[in-house]
Amino acid sequence: MSEDFTQFYYHQPLIHHDDDHRRNNYSAAAASITFSADHSSVVHHDNLQSFDPSYLSFTEFLHGSCTGHDSFLDAAFGLSPSISSAVKEERTPVVEAAGGGETPATPNSSISSSSTEAAAAAAAGDEDSNKGKKEVAKETEDDSSKKLDVKAKKKGGKKAREARFAFMTKSEVDHLEDGYRWRKYGQKAVKNSPYPRSYYRCTTQKCPVKKRVERSFQDPSTVITTYEGQHNHHVPVTLRGNMAPAGVVFAPPPLLEGPSIPAHQQLLAQMPQYLYSTSNVYDKDHPQFLQYQLSELQDVIPPVFPKHET
C-alpha cells in the first residue's frame, strides 16, 4: 500500500460551488490531503473522486457519509506512505491518538511519529524528539484546579494522553485561524530551533483543547500546529470579521465521547476548519496548506522520523 499512499493526496482546485464562502483554493478530502494553491493539478482518485467538500463536511465524510471510508481511513491511518516520492519536501502532518493501543505502527518511513514532538521534529529534523512521553492527558480542565489537576495526573500515574494531531501549514502567520478562540498562555524556546513554540488554550469554558504552534526551523515558511484534546463545543459563531473564517460552515461538531466513534475519526473531526472549509481569512498572508496526511500514531510507534530523503 505504500504505493497507494499517494492516492490520499487530493489536489483540490477551486471549489466555486458556493459563493464567497469558498473562495479559497484549499479544500481537503480525507486523511491525507495536499493543499495546493495552484489550480493546475487536480488529482482524483478512485476513493476520493466522489468527495466534494462543498457538499459534504469533512466530518461527515469521515463519519461515513461516503462509502468506502473504513478502508479509506484504515488506509489513511495505517498508511504506509511512500510520500517521500510524491512529496519529498513537504511536511507530513501527524495524528496522534491517545490511549489507543492498537496502533498500526505505521510501517512506513515517511509518516511515523509517536508524538507531536516527533512530528515537529520531522519538520525540524530534530531527533531528540522522543521525549513525547511525558505527555499526559487531562480529562477536564478546571481553571480553579489546574495545579491540582497537574498533580492529580501525576499521582494517578500516567494517564492516557489526549488525542493529538499535528499538521504543517505553509503560512507566514504563526497562529492560523481555525474558527475557535484561543488564548495564548505560554511561549517557550524550542531546542534546536530559532523559533519559539507558542501554547494556546481554547477560551471556551471547560473546553480542554490546547494547541501548540511552532515554526519549522528547516522550513521557516512552515508552521507546525499541534492540537491536543477535543472540543466539547461548537465553533463560536459569534466570531467577528477576522476571527471567523467565512467557511466555518464546515465546523466540526463537538466531539462527544461516543464510544462508537473511533479515536482517529474524532481526531479527524477536530481538524481546523480551514483545512476543509474553503475559506481563507488570511488573504494577505496566503497561507498555503501544502499537504495533509494523517496517521494514527501511538506510543508504540518509534519516533523515527524519516527525514525527507534526498
Could you list the residues that contact DNA (CB under 7 A)? 116-117, 130-135, 146-147, 149-151, 154, 158, 181-191, 197-199, 203, 210, 212
Query: What's the closest the beta carbon of residue 231 comes to DNA, in angstroms?
Result: 16
- Residue 151 CB, shortest distance to DNA, in Å, is 6
Decide whether 17 or 133 has the Cβ nearer to DNA: 133
Closer residue to DNA, CB minimum distance, 130 or 218: 130
Nearer to DNA, 152 or 256 (CB): 152
Give min distance, CB of 131 to DNA, in A: 5
Q: Which of 55/185 has CB closer to DNA?
A: 185
CB of 180 to DNA, least distance (A): 11
Three-state SS annotation for the chain? CCCHHHHHCCECCCCCCCCHHHCCCCCCCCCEEECCCCCCCCCCCCCCCCCCCCCCCHHHHHHHHCCCHHHHHHHHHCCCCCHHHHCCCCCCCEEECCCCCCCCCCCCCCCCCCCHHHHHHHHHCCCCCCCHHHCCCCCCCCHHHHHHHHHHHHHCCCCCCCCEEEEEEECCCCCCCCCCCEEEEEEEECCCCCCEEEEEEECCCCCCCEEEEEECCCCCCEEEEEEECCCCCCCCCCCCHHHCCCCHHHCCCCCCCCCCCCHHHHHHHCCCHHHHCCCCCCCCCCCECCCEECCEECCCCCCCCCCCCC
Q: How far is the CB of 145 from DNA (least distance, A)?
A: 8
Question: Which is nearer to DNA, 6 or 187 (by Cβ)?
Answer: 187
CB of 70 vs DNA, minimal distance in Å: 32
Return the number of the residue (90 or 178) whose C-beta is nearest DNA: 178
